[in-house]
Structure 1
């Protein structure tokens, strides 16, 4: 268990569980996640029930049992995909259908069309698409891609000594990303 400014984080074999308060008087919020990607799964005012739910998550209680026993939990499609070991396909589906990420759809579709690149876990931050080799390892190889202007992209391979943005022309983007994630 690791304390944070917003609460505590408990590492589990299913990813991490975070617990925090929604304000001084707000309910206790619980979330789950993997490195650099988390989502809320419920809130309650009952500390005892919350502790039981976190323990059950950590002990790998099946999701159907968690849903029945802890009604305040909202375990969604992504949680199911994480449990099945398929978070990448679910994440691609969510991003490609989210109106919130409409501005990145062309780039997402282009990357997803490649049979190799679609196997990497995608997230979006500040308009850039991040592809990570291992969704459960925040230190695994990853790249950030942002469309600068039509037909030109900035790409940064994180985790290298010189993590700098490199401009890549459209016709070289897929080859460049594949090489960076090898």
Structure 2
């Protein structure tokens, strides 16, 4: 931890880092935040509703809270009170309802995607966001082709370096998944991520849907 951060976080510095400081604050508050994974000044805590990430602001005392699922990390709020923060982490981990959570922890702001994650229905919202965002205009044709298939639209989509990724479980980065990239509208390259000796395979437009279904164990 740098000199500047020690000035803002003497309690964290005294305990040797954010992970240890959060565990001690949780102990003092009687909270269960579960196992803490710490890399540098960033802490991650696994929950059934995504991984909670905590970072330190550099220019003032603020603990920055976010939610992470494979392919996404988004901010949900910040506070200068470490004790309040660990109470919020414990409540989120225990499954406190979102409306109650926002009422109890006023520093938190949960967006539509977080609510969809809570209800177990993030996939349809993710499709809607990708198909309406100009940022992904270059992938719209491919996204629309995939989304038109009733089975494939049930998989969680993300865009990675221009390729569309379909994953069976939005919360599990190791679940079955494929990457597909459009070459020219009639030819595509597909990779079955995690398969033995995974490599890009060229697939025609006519075979694309069946190939993706097979890669995701769908027939």
Provide the rounded CA distance (Å) in 1 between the counterparts of 2:96 and 2:208. Answer: 43
User: Which of the residues 77, 94, 102 maps onto 1:67?
Assistant: 102
Q: What RMSD in Å do the two structures reach over aligned CA positions?
A: 1.5
- Kindly tell me: are residues 150 and 54 of structure 1, through their superposed partners in 2, closer, same or farther at Cα, counting changes over 3 Å? same
Other-structure match for 2:70: 35
More helix by share: 2
Assess, with a 3 A threshold, how the Cα gap between structure 1 residues 150 and 27 changes in structure 2: closer, same or farther.
Answer: same
Question: TM-score, with normalisation over the residues of structure 2?
Answer: 0.78
Partner Cα distance (1:5, 1:119) in 2:
37
Q: Which runs of 5+ in 1 are unaligned?
A: none
2:152 corresponds in structure 1 to: 117
Q: CA deviation at 1:36?
A: 3.6
Compared with structure 1, are the counterparts of its residues 22 and 150 closer, same or farther at alpha carbon in structure 2 (3 Å cutoff)? farther
Separation of aligned partners in 1, 2:190 and 2:42 = 34
Deviation at 1:23, TM superposition (A): 2.9
Query: Which residue number in structure 2 is paired with residue 13 of structure 1?
Result: 48
Match of 2:88 among 47, 53, 63: 53
Partner SS for 1:138: coil
Identify, as 1 or 2, the structure richer in strand. 1
Determine the structure 1 residue equivalent to 2:181: 146
Query: How far apart are residue 26 of structure 1 and its match?
Result: 6.0
For residues 32-66 of structure 1, the C-alpha deviation after alignment (integer angstroms, 9 at most, x for no partner) is 12234332212222222221211111111110011
Q: Which residue of 2 aligns with 1:94?
A: 129
Q: Any unmatched runs of 5+ in structure 2?
A: 1-35
After superposition, the Cα gap between the structure-2 partners of 1:57 and 1:160, relative to the gap in structure 1 and judged at 3 Å, is: same
SS at match of 1:153: strand
Alpha-carbon distance, 1:27 to partner: 2.6
Pairing 1:161–2:214 present? no
1:137 aligned residue (157, 166, 172):
172
The structure with the largest alpha-carbon Rg is: 2
Tell me the TM-score normalised to structure 1 length. Answer: 0.93
Distance, in Å, in 1 between the alignment partners of 2:195 and 2:83 is: 44
